[in-house]
Amino acid sequence: VVRVKSLSSAMANSAKLHPVAGIELATVCAGIKKADRRDLVAIKMVPQTAVAAVFTRNEFRAAPVLLAQNHLQTHKPVCLLINTGNANAGTGQQGMADAQESCRQLAQLLQCDEQQVLPFSTGVIGENLPVQKIVAALPALVENLTVDGWEQASHGILTTDTVTKAHSYQIPVADQSITLTGIAKGSGMIRPNMATMLAFIGTDAQIEPTLLQQCLNEAVTQSFNRITVDGDTSTNDACVLMATGRSGVEITADSAAYRLFCDALCRLAQELAKDIVRDGEGATKLITVEVNGGASMQECHDVAYTIAHSPLVKTAMFASDPNWGRILAAVGRSGVTLDINAVEIYLDQVCIVRDGGRSPDYTEAAGQAVMEQNEITVRVALNRGEHSTQVWTCDFSYDYVRINAEYRT
């Protein structure tokens, strides 16, 4: 109870981004795609910071993803270098050389090994990275590093996003306190698979890397891996969690603070993930798809994602049309063998399907009332087991088509 309360009260302050002791950030305009656009970000951490990360499972992983994974295997990171405007994906050997050169130049300025720099890129796929513009901007970047840089950085990593995504908590632990601050970007090409487009989370907790990675995996599974805008997993997804230890609060697997920390991290990741869906390209609504009573997690996910990806369901949501036949059809084609007479489907609390057809007490007015809302839960009760899941998606609007038809113009 105390845990939930302290977390909630901390979340009320999330508009303010608390600095994380041991982490400095800087953001500058390098002119990568557009002039006078903040497009280059550095996140520098104190030595001995534990770093956990997850990356996209797209087979066509971008050069910076491959290089960051590589560097992480052998070195303790000192700095993240993030650019927007160019994904450096589908760029072959030149792309890898460009990512390496960026790391090398920043490492020289920071006097560390180039393997201690992790590169991240987001933007258009298939164009070569303008390395010289990035290198030219590095000295200003290093000069601007500040512990108060989270807010500027949350702007500097955006692409088609219309709003920043940032949350920050302070969690009381005994008579001390841990800070957790995170930023993310993402709006289209969003169906993360072990990571979201880009998310960077810092904490001053002291936690050993293996345990930190375990916390991150758990949080990502329940947040970034549960969202979809268009079903398109990006080539550049990455989520990084940095723990500086500067709070002096040590978290071990058997400590009381462990669950507290994991829950807060999970909550933070979920907030960032839902922010991404709310800001999904063209989105006007946040749709939570909940499937419960499943015989396995797999069948819960199959049903949930079939609904969440259905263009027919998503256009009906956009139109606020309780055309529930489309939800029923999506459940039916999810590849899960069902006793359809046992399945119930709800819009929020309104039962729309029961006994294989329209629920006898359903009225179009009740369905319409739910559909008018900005946030809607579609719940499917399979009624044959104990497993359940939630995924988050958005509706499908004219603007999704416009944004993606005009993206490169």
Binding site residues, its own copies, CB under 8 A: 57-61, 87, 89-95, 124-126, 188-189, 191, 193, 230-235, 309-312, 315-316, 318-319, 321, 323-326, 328-334, 336-338, 340, 353, 355-358, 396-398, 400-402, 404-409
- In whole angstroms, the minimum distance from the beta carbon of 194 to its own copies comes to 12
Distances (CA, A) of 109 to 100, 112, 114, 136: 15, 8, 10, 12
Q: Is 79 helix (H, G, I), strand (E, B) or coil?
A: strand
Return the HEC string of 262-278. HHHHHHHHHHHHHHHHH
- In whole angstroms, the minimum distance from the beta carbon of 302 to its own copies comes to 11
For its own copies, which is the closer residue by CB, 175 or 406? 406
- In whole angstroms, the minimum distance from the beta carbon of 146 to its own copies comes to 34
Whether 283 contacts 404, CB under 8 Å: no
For its own copies, which is the closer residue by CB, 255 or 284? 284
For its own copies, which is the closer residue by CB, 170 or 334? 334
- In whole angstroms, the minimum distance from the beta carbon of 270 to its own copies comes to 23
Phi and psi for 227 in degrees, rounded to 5? -120, 150
Strand residue runs (E) in 231-270? 238-243, 250-251
Q: Which residues contact 6 (CB under 8 A, 6 or more apart)?
A: 171, 172
Known active-site residue 179: no
For its own copies, which is the closer residue by CB, 213 or 404? 404
> Dmax of the chain from CA atoms?
71
Whether 130 contacts 86, CB under 8 Å: yes
- Tell me the C-alpha distance between 80 and 257, whole Å: 28
- In whole angstroms, the minimum distance from the beta carbon of 71 to its own copies comes to 20
Q: Which of 196, 228, 233, 244 is catalytic?
A: 196
Give the type of residue at 244. Answer: T
Give the type of residue at 58. Answer: N
Whether 58 contacts 234, CB under 8 Å: yes
Which residue carries 């009332």 as its tokens? 369
Q: Which residues contact 228 (CB under 8 A, 6 or more apart)?
A: 190, 191, 277, 305, 308, 309, 391, 392, 393
- In whole angstroms, the minimum distance from the beta carbon of 231 to its own copies comes to 7
- In whole angstroms, the minimum distance from the beta carbon of 384 to its own copies comes to 13
For its own copies, which is the closer residue by CB, 150 or 324? 324
For its own copies, which is the closer residue by CB, 47 or 356? 356
For its own copies, which is the closer residue by CB, 89 or 269? 89
- Tell me the C-alpha distance between 311 and 192, whole Å: 18
Whether 178 contacts 205, CB under 8 Å: yes
Q: Is 380 helix (H, G, I), strand (E, B) or coil?
A: strand
List the catalytic residues: 196
